Structure 1
Amino acid sequence: MKLRRKTGYSRKALLQFGIDLSWAKAAKLSNRQTSQGLVTVKTAGKVAAIVELSCETDFVARGEPFKQLLASLVTAALEHVKRAPAQQSDKISTQTFDVDSVKTADGKSLKEVISMGIGKLGENISAKRIKAFWAPQDSEFYNGSHPKDGLQDIPMGRFVSLLAMNRKKSEGQFLTERLADQLCQHIIGMRSESLGTSVDPNEAKKQTETSKNADGQDELNEFFQGQATQMDAEIDKD
């Protein structure tokens, strides 16, 4: 019972899923900080899932076993979203899940899958967040990551972006997939600090005015100055 309180995993679960950890080692791992890791996003039309998985070291985070673990988690999360009741809205709808509520195809909870990863990799691993997304009506999701890493069709990186777009596949000079990919990279490059509703225009003006330093330079928007990219030019023509 003492180990269950510290780790969230029972001795039966540790043994059943092949985790070669003693009770004392499992408790010790649960107290270690998980400051490294990756985040991934997976989409399927009007639904999407994002999972952020943390570990102790960058060495483990960059390894194939950790990426495979993350891929299995986001795949299970996306399948869970597909089975959940669809949320109809004119905006992107979101919902947060915990590691106990989401199951893999063979019936394991994500907590059990993570516990297997702890045993294999020998580091404390935790799912920081598991979020589901539903696109607005007549829109579909597209995604991106930076740096571009991952496994097959599952992007992973330090940052990910999710874009809901209502656009025909062949509309305009850009293919929709290409346009969406570049927009997702631009979103990551904007260095957003929060996700939510748009800022009030008057409030945005105040923020811009207060962001100017003593030399009159606009530090807040300096990142966006410069010539338009080729993509920007093509969009302006449409």
Structure 2
Amino acid sequence: MIAGRIFRYIHTNNSLWQASNKALLSELRRKTGYTFANCKKALQLHENDIKKAEQWLMDQAQTLGWSKATKLEGRATQQGLIAVVVHENHGALVEVNCETDFVARNKYFQSLVATTASAALKYASTIAGQDPVNKASLDSDTLKQLPASDGKSLADHSALVIGNVGENLCIRRALCVNVKDGVSLAGYSHPAPATPSADRVGKYASIVAFSATEKSEQLGRQLCQHVIGMNPSKIGQKGIDEPNPVPDDETTMIYQDFLLDPNITVEELLNNSRAQVLDFARYEAGEAVDAAQDLKTVEMCG
């Protein structure tokens, strides 16, 4: 009887121990996203201290990511996503590239895009200048050195994601914008996300700075949609810029047919809304950057 009780005691404690370990393993797996095998190893090495195990996994992934980043460097990154984020009087457009559209849909990659957008937005809030619209273009090298909210550089975050997805990535470029009081900023991406959020992500995105007698989020959104769909080359000034004699080839914004109502031009839309476009920018994932653009030329990665 005594032996039976001891056996049942050992068996019960062993079951409790296994259940406890499985709970820790599941929690660590859920928090980090790494494989069960790696999470189990991390817990074993750190005597089931989940905080130490999580840190060890992150450190290992970082090391592996830098190693993979070095090996994959030079591989073309023509896919990716554009994010636009606007907060009060400042905003940012960012582009992050990857090798395949499959990885562009990966949660780790999309998290990197959001992290990059947040870092660029913070930088935008520091831009100094007395003009109604002040902006700064950041190339890949500059952008990667920006700190994320956890204090690590975007380059470190990129290496971590490379370790997870096994593809070359490139934090390619950003445009940071800061506007003065009386000027509104709007951002839009296409395809539009199913759930609206502070960070809009898609294959295309635009940001528009405009002034209006009455503040209108709808007008800002519509102007951004027009910029994405019609890709104007400049705003244009009445009396200085003449409309193109061939309407189908019009690239000056004020003379273009308004995307959402081709019966009027953008100029007519602005007059009816008592508004004025002061500046705009449009990003398309994987596009070649024209040196003639107002933005700083950014070299393609890979």
Superposed pair shares fold, TM > 0.5? yes
Does residue 236 in structure 1 map to residue 278 in structure 2?
Answer: no
The CA RMSD over aligned residues, in Å, is 3.3
What whole-Å deviation, never above 9, does each CA across 1:130-171 have from its counterpart, x for those lacking one? 221112442121111111138732101121111223346xx3
8 A Cα contact 1:143 1:181, kept in partner: yes
Q: Quick check: 220-229 or 131-140, which moved more?
A: 220-229
C-alpha deviation, 1:57, in angstroms: 0.4
What whole-Å deviation, never above 9, does each CA across 1:162-218 have from its counterpart, x for those lacking one? 1223346xx3xxx711222122112212123x4x6747966645xx24xx4xxxxx4
Aligned to 2:130, which of 62, 70, 88? Answer: 88
C-alpha deviation, 1:22, in angstroms: 7.8
The aligned residue for residue 48 of structure 1 is 91
Scaled by the length of structure 1, the TM-score of the pair is: 0.72
| Cα distance, 1:101–1:65 mapped onto 2, change above 3 Å | closer
C-alpha deviation, 1:234, in angstroms: 11
C-alpha deviation, 1:35, in angstroms: 0.3
Distance 1:118 1:31 in 2: 13
The aligned residue for residue 183 of structure 1 is 223
Scaled by the length of structure 2, the TM-score of the pair is: 0.58
The aligned residue for residue 199 of structure 2 is 154
Distance 1:203 1:86 in 2: 30
Counterpart mapping for 1:27-42 below 5 A = 27-42=70-85
| Cα distance, 1:199–1:34 mapped onto 2, change above 3 Å | farther
Q: Quick check: 47-56 or 178-187, which moved more?
A: 178-187
Structure ranking higher in helix proportion: 2
Q: Per the alignment, in what secondary structure is the counterpart of residue 72 of structure 1?
A: helix
Q: Per the alignment, in what secondary structure is the counterpart of residue 79 of structure 1?
A: helix
Q: Quick check: 42-51 or 145-154, which moved more?
A: 145-154
Does residue 227 in structure 1 map to residue 263 in structure 2?
Answer: yes
Amino acid at match of 2:191: P
Counterpart mapping for 1:208-227 below 5 A = 208-209=244-245, 212=246, 218-221=247-250, 224=257, 226-227=262-263
C-alpha deviation, 1:48, in angstroms: 1.0
Gaps of 5+ in 1: 1-13, 213-217
The alignment covers a number of residue pairs equal to 204
Amino acid at match of 2:201: M
Q: Per the alignment, in what secondary structure is the counterpart of residue 39 of structure 1?
A: strand
8 A Cα contact 1:136 1:164, kept in partner: no
Amino acid at match of 1:154: D
The aligned residue for residue 161 of structure 2 is 117
The aligned residue for residue 65 of structure 1 is 108
C-alpha deviation, 1:85, in angstroms: 4.5
Q: Per the alignment, in what secondary structure is the counterpart of residue 182 of structure 2?
A: coil
Distance 2:177 2:66 in 1: 38
Amino acid at match of 1:75: S
Gaps of 5+ in 2: 1-57, 275-302
Percent of aligned positions that are identical: 29
8 A Cα contact 1:39 1:160, kept in partner: yes
| Cα distance, 1:204–1:58 mapped onto 2, change above 3 Å | farther
Distance 1:237 1:138 in 2: 15
| Cα distance, 1:201–1:113 mapped onto 2, change above 3 Å | farther
| Cα distance, 1:237–1:112 mapped onto 2, change above 3 Å | closer
Q: Per the alignment, in what secondary structure is the counterpart of residue 149 of structure 1?
A: coil
The aligned residue for residue 43 of structure 2 is none
